[in-house]
Structure formats: structure tokens, C-alpha cells
Amino acid sequence: LAKKFGTALVCLVIDEKGMAKTTADKMRIADRIYDLCVNRHGIDPRNLMFDMLTFTVGSGDVEYRDAAIQTLEAIRQLHAKYPNVGSTLGLSNISFGLSMNARVFLNSVFLHHCIEAGMTSVIINVKHIVPLAKMSQEDREICEELLFHPDDQSLFKFIGHFSDKTIDNGKNDEAYEAMRDEEKIAQLLLDGDKERMIPLVEKARHTINPDRIVNEILIDAMKVVGELFGSGKMQLPFVLQSAETMKTTVDYLNPYLSKQEKDTDTTLVIGTVKGDVHDVGKNLVDIILSNNGFKVINIGIKTELEEYLDVMKENDIHAIGMSGLLVKSTQVMKDNLEIMAAKGITTPVLLGGAALTRSFVDDFCRPIYNGAIFYCRDAFDGVIAMSRIEKYNADPSVGLDTRLGGDMVERAAKEV
């Protein structure tokens, strides 16, 4: 049935003897499953998702003391041997039997290491994990001692340490109350707390310019979120909470943002590329460019290239904006550029998104497209790019410099 309908299969490493506990057994059974599916039945290995199983380290049972080590090594070996398959895990099994507060910490640390080992998905209640950035170094070390260096005392040490430990959400935090409004806004964005954010910015906008709240405080805080995500200290669900808080806050403040009135028809069509549903960054670019007097046609999320091209046929478009959060979105951008180049399109393109890097744009995108490409790290790079495009359209002799962000003089001038 899976072969006939092209469905994915979740493959648990269980055989006639039962659930595999050691790395060797997990891989032995995974080999059998892979051979059965791929070699004997011709199933695409990309449709296989292996659950390498884990058992609790919280029972005190010596047999399961090294459960985390066995599972992590199995995940590493699986992806090294079969790079096209996926993997998943009922992750909270690792902490079964422990107190809920303690489980949150152990689950989060174990998840971090599973992702580093190559795991591609996870089965977990996101309410039962926290960003590593919210843990103390001691919390993390005690979790890692139980996971990777277990002995007769490590479990008792873990239980004792976390017996009265709770996650600090800051809602009754004296340190939070002592912060200035600017610091509170940044903190609530990091926490993804949109419920408290709106009353705060309503009060703060009377003493802090709303433009500064959006253009400096919120964007700087989102950069911190991006850095935490990139370093593995903040998991994706929390990143999305912060992004949603950003979107809600910007939407609330939009009526109070200064808007530059100017006689221009310089127009950008912007969308989140095919397969990607994340639109906070794209919508922020829309707002900031619109407030700077440019015309923006926002065509939404999961945007096929044909949707961009249809808009270009019906409107006088001066630039194309492609946005995305996911790593796979960078490949979609590259594919789009190849198709556009084949069609002879040379309209300037703005590329942006969390997974995009300057080196990817320089090495893989620029060589395949004959038009100008701007790598935009943030919405303000978008303003600079559109300003240059506007000047170039008025006077092509000025040329079109696509370098952004690298010129420190320009960056400093922009900040001033």
C-alpha cells in the first residue's frame, strides 16, 4: 500500500525479539527494514522515517542507564549510512517517571543533542520543552551528566537539583519589573508573550517613538532570537512564538508609524516562496517599505514562481522579493532564478530569510541570474535596495550597486 500510494512509513526498530535497546541492535533492525523497503519493494528511501526508540533514564534501572547514549549514537549512524531517510523519536520517553518540572529540562537538553545527531523530526508536546538559553549552565550540566555520564549517584543528584526547580517565565519577576520599557519590550519578544506586549507598547508609544520601537527595539530583539536559533539554544516553536509576537506588535503599531509621502511608482512584488508558510519577515518588509513611500504588492505565502510572473505581466514591477525561513526555501529561490534566467528576465531581485546567507547568494544565485540580486539581511537592507533601484530607474548611468551590509560606513550612516 505504501508503495502503491507513495506514502511515508514510520519504521520502529522492533523485531521478533522486541524493542532494540543497544545501538548495534537498533542499526541491525534498521538495516533489515531498509533492505525490505528499498531493495525488495523499491520504496523511495526519502519516504522512510526511522524511530530509533529511547527508554527512560529516570527509573534507576541499570539496564537503561545509558539509554540516551545508545539512542543518540544510533541516530548518528543511521543518517551517516542512509542520508536520504528521515528520523523521529517519542522524545519524552527519556524522562518518563520523573517529576514534570524536571522532565521539561531533561527533554529540552536531550532534544538539543538529538538534533545535533541528525534527527529530522520529533514527537513532543512543545509545552514540555524550553529554550536552552533559559537554563543555567548548572541545569544543563546536571542534565548532561545523567544522560551521558551516568553512575550510581547521577540520578539522585538530578532529582535533588530539580526538586523545587521551575521555569522562569518572567511574569512575576522582580528583575523584569525593574527594567525600562525598552528592555521589557525586548524581553517579551524573546519570551513570545504577545498578551503582555500589546498593553506595554500602548503605554510605551507615548514616550518612545513607535518608529523606534519597531525599527530598533523589536528588530534588534528578533536578531537575538535568530542568533539563539542558529546556535541551537532556542527551538523552532519558540522562534515562531517570538515571530508571531513581532507580527502582532507591528500590526498594532502600524497606524502610529511615520509614513513618508513621495511621488514614486517604484514597485516591489514580494512573497514567501513555494513550500514555506512563514510570513512575519515578509510582512515587516512590506510595512517598512510602504512607510518609506514605495509600492508593495504582497502575494502571500507558499508562492509559486508563476504567481510572481503573473503579477509582473499585469503591473509595472521594478523588483521581485523572495522570502523564506526554511533551509529548503533557499533552494527554491535558486530554482526560481534559474527559470527566470531561462525566460530572459533581468528584473532586480531581493532575497531574504533566516536560512539565507551571503555566501549562498554570492556562490549559487548570482552566477545563474543576469539581473541584479540584493542579499537583504533585514528590512532596512530592503529600503536601501529599493532606493538604489529607484535612482537607477531614473538615471541608469549611476549604476546599480548590490552590495549591502558589508560597507560599514553605509551601515553606520543608516543607523544614524
Q: β-strand 267-272 against 319-323: which pairing, if any?
A: parallel
Place of cell 503579477: 311
The 9-12 sheet, strands edge to edge: 9-12, 48-51, 86-88
What is the per-residue pLDDT across 192-251, written as a single tens digit (0 to 9) for each? 888 999 999 999 999 999 999 988 899 888 878 877 876 777 766 777 788 788 888 988
Q: How far is CA 342 from CA 60, 308, 322, 346, 348, in A?
A: 63, 15, 18, 10, 15
Please name the residues in contact with 62: beta carbons below 8 A apart, sequence gap of 6 or more: none
How far apart are alpha carbons 346 and 389 in whole angstroms? 13
What domains, with CATH codes, occur in the chain?
Answer: 2-161 (3.20.20.20), 174-255 (1.10.1240.10), 260-415 (3.40.50.280)
Mean pLDDT score, 104-111: 95
Place of cell 513581532: 246
Residue 14, all three cell numbers: 522492533
What is the per-residue pLDDT across 274-299, written as a single tens digit (0 to 9) for each? 998 888 788 888 888 887 789 999 99
- Work out the burial of residue 399: count CB atoms within 10 Å of its CB; fewer than 13 is exposed, 13-18 middle, 19 or more buried: exposed
Mean pLDDT score, 7-28: 96
Least confident of 41-55, 114-128, 254-268: 254-268
What's residue 234's pLDDT? Answer: 77
Q: How far is CA 126 from CA 92, 103, 129, 240, 346, in A?
A: 11, 12, 6, 12, 44
Average pLDDT, the chain: 89
pTM: 0.60
